[in-house]
Structure 1
């Protein structure tokens, strides 16, 4: 598997590089970084004390010409540039970027008619199993329970709520026959009035080096149920990304998510 990594000098990019290098079936063929990165020109494995022969570069065309797959955990504007290059070079995409707007999501889905794409707000097996638990729970707590989603991430995360929190909200809303765009409440301040029971609330915490915590609270009268997932390391995301690469190997085109990869749909 000839794999290139976008955002290669970042925390997630480095974890992806390490995971690819440790997989005997994978070959690192490219490492993309920002044009202003001081790491440009350095070996992609330098942070591990390894020589890979792959230098960090901002030359998108060169990287895509060498790769069969790109794993991208960057930002929406960067991912959309990578999408255009992937279409030109017929490269399959594994996307962990979050914060896309509806128009960008539509572009990604449309591109799935020409290349294979797996996009997910979270690639860990645990989170995706948790989504199935939430779907089950939401159907059984449809009446008489208020639903709140609380997420916490490190101080460097730039979007809120997290992609994982939004995925959880979408799963719950679908199970309840609601439209998340219409029923979501993002934070509260001032005199808000009584809680509308049809809403799904979101709260975001940012601080320190928290990798990613997500809790869904079903609060009823006399009891509450909490379903929580906590990430201790980015390794779970990187391993999920490689699992997605293997899944895409059998699909020339299509738009998929981790529920497809894990056979949970």
Structure 2
């Protein structure tokens, strides 16, 4: 069964990649493109964004888009995503949410909406990154004693939230495997005389610069050895193809909150 897709933020970096990826996905049909009302692309063929006309006109009317689409893929900003979610909930449409930077209260709002509509919500849609999540769970259980955990991530200069949603999820996976609460053990910055590192903490380091798509490394640092599990993205295409896979996964589902571990059958 072919899933009919609407893409939010069509003129953005991920929006363009999603348009391109949809054209190469046989079980997905691109039917609606959304952008801000003040976007210069409103009223133009969305295919212009990737160099090939496709007949889908960029608009700002979410209700009109949902009349055509089964599912909305959203990689925008938290406030916009939540506004889109309320419309999806009202019209009983599915959503794939790749937006990051949500507060705990906003995540709870997504979970509440998922009681009525099907939602895939994941900080990273890449199949490779989600494989890394599984590896981190295994590694953390094996290296549970005598190893300090540090999470490093680097992204392009335009990213507005830090640490990245992927880095935070990596920390959550490790913390859960170790029986810890990330909110209590995370350290997000070190400066000056900090004293010795306490073993129960999980540290985060963030770099922003240039056009780095996304680099993530989790280090398990012991005495005399270090285990590193890394993922480096060369383009945004893995995120787009993963999101499309998530949209196909939601076909035929009435409600529920899922992530990419569910989509990939890694539970």
The TM-score, its normalising length taken from structure 1, stands at: 0.98
| 2:187–2:202 contact (8 Å) kept in structure 1 | yes
Q: CA deviation at 1:125?
A: 0.9
The equivalences for 1:1-265 within 5 A come to 1-265=3-267
Q: Show CA shifts across 1:136-176 (max 9, x none).
A: 11111111111000000011100001111011000000000
Deviation of 1:196 (Å) = 1.3
Would you say how many aligned residue pairs link Structure 1 and Structure 2? Answer: 265
SS in 2 for 1:110: helix
Deviation at 1:36, TM superposition (A): 2.3
Question: Given that residues 150 and 204 in structure 2 are in contact (C-alpha distance below 8 angstroms), is that contact kept between their aligned partners in structure 1?
Answer: yes
Could you list the per-position Cα deviations for residues 201-232 of structure 1 after superposition, in whole angstroms to 9, with x for gaps in the alignment? Answer: 00111111111000001111111111111011
Task: Note the C-alpha offset of 1:69.
Answer: 0.4
Q: Which runs of 4+ in 1 moved over 6 A?
A: none
Per-residue displacement from partner, 1:177-218 (whole Å, max 9, x unpaired)? 000010001011122111111000001111111110000011
Query: How far apart are 1:28 and its partner, in Å?
Result: 1.2
Consecutive unaligned residues of structure 1, counting only runs of 5 or more, are none
Cα contact 2:11–2:49 (8 A) shared by 1: no
Structure 2 unaligned spans of 5+: none
Classify the secondary structure of the residue corresponding to 2:82: helix
Alpha-carbon shift at residue 48 of structure 1 (Å): 2.9
For 1:255 and 1:212, how far apart are their aligned partners in 2?
25
Shift of residue 46 of structure 1?
0.6
SS at match of 2:153: strand
Give 1:27 deviation, angstroms: 1.5
How far off is 1:22 after superposition? 2.1
RMSD: 1.0
How high is the TM-score relative to the length of structure 2? 0.97
Residue 178 of structure 1 aligns to a residue whose secondary structure is: coil
What secondary structure does 2:200 align onto?
Answer: coil
